[in-house]
């Protein structure tokens, strides 16, 4: 059976790339990922490298499947962990059953966010809006806030930013003084973690490398 390796690249810093991820990329004859991710593995890539974008996604994945079918060792690199707001879900829907997807997990921004805030996230609600903010996701978010749970969110930088999230929650009855944390560019040199409330969300948080945490159990102030 043809195989494609889906590899987690971590949250952004080379220090957070796992040794196993580098080994898989080094052995691959075809490596696929975003420009930013390919740069992270530049010294490891020995074979062909193709940049993946929203526009060429279907075409590149189709090419990857064709190559894998011919026995080419293919590595598809996903930001963070492939299983959460990563490439696994989208790729799994795009390939047929004759392709074996071997997944190597990575360190996600969600994990780093929880570590920076020193919170246990085994009972946290994890929500990603990276593929859009549908009503189901919004309702799930609202229910989690009203139930007092810790929530870690990947906002949509285009149409559902942290500010939009806060406005939505307040307009649907959430307490405006609920503590909010914005984590940006985690593990990178310009990493920043800021605290605010739903009513006063920190001004940053508009970029793609942003994680938002809502923690009702934290005392305001």
| Domain membership flag for residue 79 | yes
- Alpha helices of the chain — where are they, by DSSP H? 19-27, 35-40, 57-69, 88-94, 109-116, 135-146, 162-171
Backbone angles phi, psi at 20, to 5 degrees: -65, -35
In this prediction, residue 206 carries a pLDDT of 61
Beta bridge partners of 140: none
| Domain membership flag for residue 50 | yes
| Domain membership flag for residue 219 | no
Same domain, 209 and 159: yes
Q: How many CB atoms lie within 10 A of CB 51?
A: 14
Same domain, 72 and 135: no
- Among 63-72, 81-90, 91-100, name the one with the lowest average pLDDT: 91-100
In terms of residue numbers, what domain contains 171?
A: 109-214
Tens-digit pLDDT profile for residues 88-101:
998 998 888 888 99
Q: What is the dihedral of CA 195, 198, 200, 203, to 10 degrees?
A: 70
> Which stretches of the chain are assigned E, i.e. beta strand?
2-8, 30-33, 48-51, 74-78, 99-104, 125-128, 151-154, 179-184, 192-197, 210-214
Is pLDDT above 90 for 205? no
Mean pLDDT of the 11-20 span: 96
Which residue, of 104, 121, 138, is where some domain finishes? 104
Q: Alpha-carbon distance 204 to 181, whole Å?
A: 11
Tens-digit pLDDT profile for residues 126-172:
999 988 888 999 999 999 999 999 999 999 888 899 999 999 999 99
Which residue, of 52, 84, 104, is where some domain finishes? 104
Same domain, 113 and 210: yes
CA dihedral over 76, 24, 84, 217, signed as positive or negative: negative
In this prediction, residue 157 carries a pLDDT of 85
Same domain, 57 and 118: no
Q: Alpha-carbon distance 4 to 102, whole Å?
A: 6
Which residue, of 104, 131, 161, is where some domain finishes? 104
Tens-digit pLDDT profile for residues 92-133:
988 888 889 999 999 999 999 999 999 999 999 999 998 888
| Domain membership flag for residue 220 | no
Helix axes 135-146, 162-171, angle to 10 degrees: 70
């Amino acid at each position: 059976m043809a195989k494609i390796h889906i590899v987690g690249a971590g949250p952004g810093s080379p220090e957070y790339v796992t040794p196993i991820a580098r080994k898989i990329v080094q052995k691959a004859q075809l490596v696929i990922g975003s420009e930013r991710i390919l740069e992270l593995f530049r010294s490891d890539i020995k074979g062909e490298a193709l940049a993946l974008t929203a526009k060429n996604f279907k075409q590149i994945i189709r090419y990857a499947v064709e190559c894998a079918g011919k026995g080419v060792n293919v590595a598809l690199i996903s930001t963070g962990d492939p299983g959460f707001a990563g490439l696994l879900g989208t790729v799994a829907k795009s390939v047929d059953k004759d392709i074996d997807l071997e997944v190597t997990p990575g360190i996600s921004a969600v994990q780093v966010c929880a570590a920076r805030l020193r919170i246990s996230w085994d009972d946290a609600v994890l929500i990603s809006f990276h593929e859009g903010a549908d009503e189901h996701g919004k309702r799930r978010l609202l229910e989690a806030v009203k139930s007092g749970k810790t929530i870690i969110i990947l906002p949509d930088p285009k149409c559902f930013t942290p500010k939009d999230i806060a406005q939505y929650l307040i307009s649907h009855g959430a307490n405006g003084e609920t503590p909010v944390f914005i984590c940006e560019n985690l593990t990178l040199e310009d990493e920043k973690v800021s605290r605010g409330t739903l009513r006063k969300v920190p001004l940053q948080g508009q970029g793609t490398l942003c994680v938002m945490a809502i923690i009702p159990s934290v005392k305001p102030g």
